[in-house]
Amino acid sequence: MSQVKIFDTTLRDGEQALPASLSAREKLQIALTLERLGVDIIEAGFPVSSPGDFASVQQIAQQLKTSIPCGLSRAVAADIDACGQALQVAERFRIHTFIATSDIHVNAKLRKSQDDVVEMAVAAIKHAKQYTNDVEFSCEDAGRTHIDYLCRMVESAITAGATTVNIPDTVGYTIPSEFGGIIQTLFNRVPNIDKATISVHCHNDLGLAVANSLSAVEHGARQVECTINGIGERAGNCSLEEIVMALKTRYALLGLDTNIDTQEITRASRLVSQLCNMPVQANKAIVGANAFSHSSGIHQDGVLKAQNTYEIMTPESVGLNKNTLNMTSRSGRHVIKHRLHELGYQDSDYDLDTLYASFLRLADKKGQVFDYDLEALLFFDQQRQ
C-alpha cells in the first residue's frame, strides 16, 4: 500500500474564511479531534498574523502527540521566525512557507521579477531549515502558473531543502485532466522531484477540488491538503471526508491508502459545523443529513434486501449507526413493516393493508411520517377493529 498523507488546514485556510474567529479553546478541541481522526499533519494557524494565533498554534503544538503540527508563513524571515518560535515546543513540527508563482500574482501582487521570487523562495526555505528539517513550500496559484516556471520553482525549492512541495490550485480554476497533467509534467521534468513529497491543495470554485486532488494523486501526488466539511476561502477547499472516502472506496484497489480512521469522520464533521457555525448542506456527500437516507420506495426495498444495492459505502464506515429510511408517500409496505418491527411490534399487532392505506393518506397530507405518527395510526386502526 502507498500512503497518501492527509494535511488538514481547517484551522488555517478553513478558519480564515469564517465570519468570526474560533477561540483558542475551540481550535484546540478541533485539533485534538483531527488527531483522533488520524490526520498526518495539522496546519494549526498563521502565527505571525496575531498574538492570539501565535498562542493558539503554540498550545496545539504542545498538546499533539501523533499528528505533526504545522504553521503557515509567507516567504519572509519574520513570518518564519514566528512559526519556528510558536512550534518549537513540539518535538516534531513543520514550517509551511509560500510565495505566489503565477504571472498575475508575481506582476500585480508581488510586483517582482520571476528571478526575485525564486530567490525569495530559496532564502525562505533555507531560513526555515534552521528551525526544522520538515519544511513545506507552496507555489501559490500554481494552477495558473506557466509550467516552465513552475518546474524551475519546484526544482529550486527541493534543492534549497523543501521536503514537501505543494502545488495549490489557489483559485479553483483547473479541471482534473489539466491538473493531473501539471503533476505529471513535474514528475517528468523536475530532476530532483523524488527527494520531496508532492502535495496538492485545491480550492472548490468550480466544485472540482476533490476531483482535481484525485487526479493529482493518480499522477503521483502523495499528500492532499483539505478541510473538514470543505470549509475555506470562497467556495472552500477540498473536503477531507470526500477525498478520504473516495480513496478508501475506489483507490484501495490501486494500492492507495490513508491513515484516517474513517469511523471518526461524522464526529469531526459535526464538531466543526457546530463550532464554526457552518451548517452542512443536507445532500453533502459523506456527512450531509441525506447522505445515507433513502426516500423512494424502490430504493428502500433494495437496501432492505441488500444494503449495497443503493449504498456504495456503509454508514458505519463513517461513524453513523445506520442508514435512514424516510417514511413518505413513496415508501412501500415493506418499509412500514420493517420500521414497526424495529419499534418492537409483531406482524400480528396490525393489519398491514389497513395500516398502509391510513399511512398513505397521512403521508400525502404531511410529507414525512415519523415513528410517533406511525404508532398513532396503528393504535387508531386497532381501536376501529
β-strand partners of 293:
324
Contact criterion met (CB below 8 Å) for 185 and 154: no
Q: Angle of helix 24-37 relative to helix 51-63, nearest 10 degrees?
A: 40
Among 168, 180, 230, 236, binds ligand KIV (CB under 6 A): 168
For Zn ion, the binding residues (CB under 5 A) are: 13
CB of 84 to ligand KIV, least distance (A): 18
Does 179 engage in binding with ligand KIV (CB under 6 A)? Answer: no
Does 43 engage in binding with ligand KIV (CB under 6 A)? Answer: no
- DSSP type of residue 80: H
Cβ distance to ligand KIV smaller for residue 201 or 219: 201
The annotation status of 127 as a binding-site residue, yes or no, is no
Which of the choices Zn ion, ligand KIV, none does residue 98 contact, using the CB cut-off of 5 to 8 A by kind?
A: ligand KIV
Nearest Cα neighbor of 37 from 301, 244, 306 is 244
Calculate the alpha carbon distances from 222 to 196, 198, 262 in Å: 10, 6, 19
Does 47 engage in binding with ligand KIV (CB under 6 A)? Answer: no
Q: What is the CA radius of gyration of the chain?
A: 25
Q: What b/e sequence results for 330-340 when a residue is b if at least 16 CB atoms lie within 10 Å of its CB, and e otherwise?
A: ebeeebbbbbb
Cell of 220: 503521483
Does 144 engage in binding with ligand KIV (CB under 6 A)? Answer: no
CB of 238 to Zn ion, least distance (A): 10
List the Cα angle 204/210/211 in 5-degree steps. Answer: 105
Nearest Cα neighbor of 266 from 247, 246, 240, 248 is 240
Contact flags string 198-227 toward ligand KIV, x per CB under 6 A? ---x-x------------------------
Q: Please, is 297 exposed, middle or buried when counting C-beta atoms within 10 Å of its C-beta (0-12, 13-18, 19+)?
A: middle
Does 98 engage in binding with ligand KIV (CB under 6 A)? Answer: yes
Helix, strand, coil share of the chain (percent; to 5): 55, 15, 30
Q: Compute CA 253 distance to the chain's CA centroid, rounded to the nearest angstrom.
A: 21
The annotation status of 203 as a binding-site residue, yes or no, is yes
CB of 168 to ligand KIV, least distance (A): 3
The annotation status of 341 as a binding-site residue, yes or no, is no
Among 101, 138, 199, 227, binds ligand KIV (CB under 6 A): 138
Does 132 engage in binding with ligand KIV (CB under 6 A)? Answer: no
CB of 230 to ligand KIV, least distance (A): 13
Cβ distance to ligand KIV smaller for residue 43 or 242: 43
Known binding residues for Mn(2+): 13, 201, 203, 237
The annotated binding site is made up of: 13, 201, 203, 237
By the criterion CB under 6 A, which residues form the site for ligand KIV?
13, 98, 138, 140, 166, 168, 170, 201, 203
